[in-house]
Structure 1
Amino acid sequence: MTIHKEGFVSIGLAALFVLGTNALLRNFLGEIEWLTTTWLVASIIFFFIIVQFFRKPTRLSPINPKHVIAPCDGKVVVIEEVVETEYFKGPRRQVSIFMSPINVHINWNPISGVVKYFKYHPGKYLVAWHPKSSTENERTTTVIQSPNGVEILFRQIAGALAKRIVWYVKEGQQVSQGSEMGFIKFGSRVDIYLPLDATLNVNLEDKTTGSVTVIATLN
């Protein structure tokens, strides 16, 4: 299993925590065998949960200028027509994908093109499925314009556990469909805003595989 670069520090700190707490328990409470053994097992499980969170799978994206691919692993929790007020200032179809702590948390570019707009917004840490998380939580907004002029907006949104959003894109940058655009640590969601005439290929509760699942087809 390959570990993502965003996980090196967190995994190192988790390893120190496991080693340190077990050493302290053995030193001061070593005679209470059931306690030290229980904590040893629990701390090892905790460590492997942290490791699996930062796993980096190898995936091949189905490059297609008509396709909008899922920017993350997770479950589709919202499909609705909304008025997007930050960039388009008009109606769009929103698709929201919730990422649980057991999902891969890498984010991928849904289309190829030029990054026309990017902005980081500090904010709250409401639970990721809260309706106001899209506008009040810490988040980023990215707009990519495809070679044929279609623009897709998507947001990385922090959740109650996600305390750090990482991004690798900037305005004016050329990006490829399925390339990494960022990472969100420990539970969150991504919102995608599509043209109203795009054909949806997913339904509510569908599971998505980031950089693989085709969530919409552009007309």
Structure 2
Amino acid sequence: MRRPIIAREGWPFVGALVALAVLALFVHWALGAVLAGLALFVMWFFRDPERPIPREDGLVVSPADGRVMFVREVEEPRFVGGRALLVSIFLSVFDVHINRSPVAGEVTYREYVPGKFLAAWDDTVGEVNERAYLGLVTDGGHRVLVSQVAGLLARRIVTWPAVGDRLDRGQRFGLIRFGSCTQVWLPADSEVLVRPGDRVVAGQTVIGRLPQ
């Protein structure tokens, strides 16, 4: 079933700005035009396009639109339980902010962590900013962790699945409002196919392969 081209989470913002723009026209046309332009920008920000999802077994797709900030081997005790490969993606206000599942699997872990609102391009935001975690176990038993990280302007994280839900690869699972960072941890023996600076598209760009 196709979703609306504008994510429903954006409708209240668009509706409020359109109403304000109409009222502002009675004050001054320029103010009304500015608010109407802002309403159009918010509609564009909350766009939710359909994406062709790669189907080959073992692939990992990007959980977000944006630019790869870094790829690192790290310790991940929260869910993966040891060494893992961390891919961090920065989303500007110009990127689609719908998050998509990097793999198919069952949600077995979910946690929200309050924190700061540092600029999302800072390397430390994944450890100190407000964030929400979603842990997936694939049919092959691999554990993959995704984190939605709030940024300087992003003050609202939305995560839809509950523990026990099953997600398909590329399925929408939430969004972050107005500039943010999304991170994904893969098993340490996975193959990562992206590098810092690469542009990625949620649900469409293959960022890695899970171990056989």
Provide the TM-score with structure 1 as the length reference: 0.89
Which consecutive residues of structure 1, in runs of 5 or more, have no partner in the other structure?
27-35
Matches within 5 A, 1:71-82: 71-82=63-74
In structure 2, distance between residues paired with 1:170 and 1:83: 25
Q: In 2, are the aligned partners of 1:56 and 1:104 still within 8 Å (CA)?
A: yes
Deviation string 1:35-91 (CA, Å, 9 cap, x unpaired) is x54x44433332211110011101121123300100111110111111123223422
Q: Distance in 2 between matches of 1:211 and 1:175?
A: 12
- Rg bigger for which structure? 1
Of 26, 29, 42, 2:34 maps to 42
> After superposition, where does 1:108-187 map in structure 2 within 5 Å?
108-187=100-179
Aligned length: 208
- 1:175 Cα offset (Å): 1.2
- CA-atom RMSD in angstroms: 1.5
Residues in 2 aligned to 1:65 and 1:188: alpha-carbon distance in whole angstroms: 29
Tell me if structure 1 keeps the 8 A contact 2:80–2:187.
Answer: no
Indicate the SS of the match to 1:93: strand
Aligned to 1:191: 183
Deviations 1:134-154 (A, max 9, x none): 122111111111101011111
Whether the 8 Å contact between 2:108 and 2:164 is mirrored in structure 1 is yes
Does 2:10 align with 1:7?
yes
Mean Cα deviation higher: 14-23 or 142-151: 14-23
**Counterpart in 2 of 1:31?**
none
CA distance in structure 1 between the aligned counterparts of 2:206 and 2:171, rounded to whole angstroms = 15
> What's the secondary structure of 1:211's corresponding residue?
coil
Contact kept, 8 Å, 2:102 with 2:169, in 1: the verdict is: yes
Partner of 1:16: 19
Which amino acid is the alignment partner of residue 21 of structure 1? A
Residue ranges of structure 2 left out of the alignment (5+ in a row): none
Q: After the TM superposition, which of the residue ranges 81-90 and 198-207 deviates more from structure 2?
A: 81-90
Q: Post-superposition shift, 1:165?
A: 0.6
Identity, % of aligned positions: 33
What is the CA–CA distance in structure 1 between the aligned matches of 2:127 and 2:180, rounded to whole Å?
14
Provide, for residues 77-136 of structure 1, a one-character-per-residue CA deviation record: whole Å limited to 9, x for no partner: 111111123223422111011111111110011111111111111221111122221122
Structure in which a larger fraction of residues adopt helix: 1
CA contact 2:133–2:146 (8 Å) conserved in 1: yes
Cα deviation for residue 216 of structure 1 reads 0.2
Show the counterpart of 1:62: 54
Aligned positions of 1:180-219 closer than 5 A: 180-219=172-211
Task: Tell me, in whole angstroms, the C-alpha distance in 2 between the residues paired with 1:17 and 1:79.
Answer: 44
With normalisation by structure 2, the TM-score equals 0.92
Out of 83, 86, 110, which is 1:94 matched to? 86
| Residue aligned with 1:21, SS | helix
CA contact under 8 A between 2:21 and 2:33: conserved in structure 1?
no
